[in-house]
């Protein structure tokens, strides 16, 4: 086991580059099963969830080689088994993403129960309904056995805009006979990345970025060479880290078009970001609200500056009403940043309601913040009222899941004194070598074995 030891109170300063988006990497790695040709995937974050996915793929017979630590070549010449490792599946929820490509390629899969974060009920019903609509027979017991005599296109209305169910249905539909129309589909940046990857492999997917995807099935996909885009959740985490420690960060090589609601939410907390970069030989710097988010690449550049001077004053709604930050499916504020935003709010002047609509267990780390001196009222599993600013002090903490773990790390860096965070394997599932990035920014953090 390992833990982080943090001496808080040091402002973060410098330049940082986010890792590749793990939620794009996982389905794209799974898509390697759809072809017997090589799929080169670049900028892969080497985090624990990715290592578990690679282990599952290797167990199925996928050949994996490294061009560099971040650049991988996967080739599924033959699928030698249709049964996944129970032990590995128990560690990673994304194991369910192998269902769609395995049904398309091998026509069957035996999938043990997926694991992952305990942040509330996480249904798989939407996955099963979509795959059944495409022609799969599913037997659910202690895990899932799925078979098909041939996938067929269908019109499917998802009962929720599930990211991974959308991805599973997309991968299965690429090689189904006929046309699939996927309605109420998720449109998150990582779903878009997967769809573009599949198209680069020969798939015919239109409507990318909308909630209505059309897939023209084909017989065979080919290899490709794709690059994983920046993790917008990690970008949001660094914005929060800069603000809460009263530091200044330049976050390089981000995708501003993925961040409009992130910028709006942080502005509500009194945190202003700037999108900047090079245009010709002149440097362009624009307030985040000045960016044309309808464009694939911002004309102002691809870097985000979080200046040291911030008001950190919560912006009230009209007539001095208490404002709120709430989450939802894309393009709303992402659920994965709710824990970060809540901790940042404890360092801001004013009162705000944090409304986590999607997962009923996301807020259950709040008791640890109370022990650190935060003033937070947990109204129910979905809502918390934060009154700030609070002077936090160091505490011994336990990381319950990826995002709460990162939020507690942020709290430790903002607090006075020493904090110890145990169970940091949870943080490692979503953030690549985070302590090394933070050390380069001036954070006093160490990883120690226990």
Active site residue ranges:
117
DSSP state of 222: -
C-alpha distances (whole Å) from 118 to each of 305, 360, 363 are: 33, 10, 11
Q: By the 8 A CB rule, do 366 and 384 touch? A: yes
CB 118 within 8 A of CB 362: no
Tokens describing residue 171: 């991968």
Distance, CA of 4 to CA of 380 (rounded, Å) = 30
Q: List the beta strands (DSSP E) in 339-382.
A: 350-355, 375-380
How far, in whole angstroms, is CA 136 from its chain's centroid? 28
Residues 6+ apart with CB under 8 A from 349: 270, 312, 313, 314, 388, 389
Examine residue 401 and say whether the peptide bond preceding it is cis (omega within 30 degrees of 0): no
Closest by alpha carbon to 104, among 238, 264, 271, 217? 217
- Separation in Å, CA 261 to CA 108, 256, 289, 306, 312: 40, 10, 10, 16, 18
Alpha-carbon gap, residue 59 to 57, rounded angstroms: 5
CA distance 297 to 376: 38
Return d(Cα 236, Cα 241) in angstroms, integer: 9
| Residues β-bridged to residue 388 | 350
**Do 326 and 357 form a contact (C-beta atoms < 8 A)?**
yes
Peptide bond into 420 cis (omega under 30): no
* Alpha-carbon torsion angle 131, 136, 141, 142, nearest 10: -70
Dig out the tokens for 159 from the structure. Answer: 């009962």
Task: Report the candidate in 158, 111, 160 with the shortest Cα–Cα distance to residue 138.
Answer: 111
Helix (H, G, I), strand (E, B) or coil at 238: helix
What ranges make up the beta strands (E) of 71-203? 72-75, 108-111, 137-141, 143-147, 155-157, 179-183
The token pair at 429 is 């599932």
> What is d(CA 160, CA 358) in angstroms, rounded to the nearest whole number?
11
């Amino acid at each position: 086991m390992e833990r982080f030891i943090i001496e808080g109170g040091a402002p973060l300063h410098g330049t940082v580059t986010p890792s590749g988006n793990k939620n794009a990497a996982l389905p794209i790695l799974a898509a390697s099963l759809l072809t017997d040709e090589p799929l080169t995937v670049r900028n892969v974050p080497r985090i624990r969830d990715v290592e578990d996915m690679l282990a599952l793929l290797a167990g199925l017979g996928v050949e994996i080689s490294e061009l560099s630590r971040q650049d991988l070549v996967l080739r599924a010449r033959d699928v030698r088994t249709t049964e996944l490792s129970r032990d590995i599946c128990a560690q990673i929820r994304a194991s369910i993403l192998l269902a769609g490509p395995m049904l398309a390629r091998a026509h069957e899969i035996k999938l043990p129960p997926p694991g992952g974060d305990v942040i509330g009920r996480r249904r798989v019903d939407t996955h099963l309904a979509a795959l059944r609509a495409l022609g799969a027979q599913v037997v659910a017991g202690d895990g899932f056995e799925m078979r098909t005599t041939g996938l067929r296109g269908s019109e499917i209305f998802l009962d929720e805009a599930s990211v991974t169910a959308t991805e599973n249905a997309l991968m299965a539909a690429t090689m189904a006979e006929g046309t699939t129309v996927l309605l109420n589909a998720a449109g998150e940046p990582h779903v878009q990345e997967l769809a573009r990857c599949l198209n680069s492999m020969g798939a015919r997917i239109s409507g990318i970025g909308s909630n209505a995807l059309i897939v023209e099935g084909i017989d065979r996909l080919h290899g490709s060479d794709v690059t994983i885009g920046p993790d917008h959740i990690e970008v949001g985490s660094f914005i929060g880290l800069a603000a809460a420690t009263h530091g200044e960060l330049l976050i390089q090589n981000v995708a501003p078009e993925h961040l409009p609601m992130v910028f709006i939410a942080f502005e509500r907390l009194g945190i202003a970001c700037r999108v900047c970069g090079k245009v010709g030989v002149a440097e362009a710097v624009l307030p985040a609200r000045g960016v044309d988010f309808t464009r694939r690449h911002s004309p102002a550049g691809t870097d985000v500056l979080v200046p040291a001077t911030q008001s950190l004053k919560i912006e009230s709604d009209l007539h001095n009403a208490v404002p709120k930050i709430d989450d939802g499916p894309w393009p709303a504020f992402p659920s994965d940043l709710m824990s970060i935003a809540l901790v940042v709010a404890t360092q801001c002047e004013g009162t705000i309601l944090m409304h986590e609509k999607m997962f009923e267990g996301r807020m259950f780390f709040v008791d640890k913040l109370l022990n650190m001196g935060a003033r937070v009222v947990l109204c129910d599993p979905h809502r918390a009222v934060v009154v700030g600013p609070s002077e936090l002090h160091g505490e011994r903490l336990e990381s319950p899941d990826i995002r709460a773990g990162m939020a507690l790390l942020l709290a430790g860096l903002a607090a006075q004194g020493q904090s110890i965070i145990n169970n940091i394997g949870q943080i490692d599932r979503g953030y690549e070598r985070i302590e090394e990035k933070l050390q380069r920014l001036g954070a006093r953090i160490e990883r120690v074995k226990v």
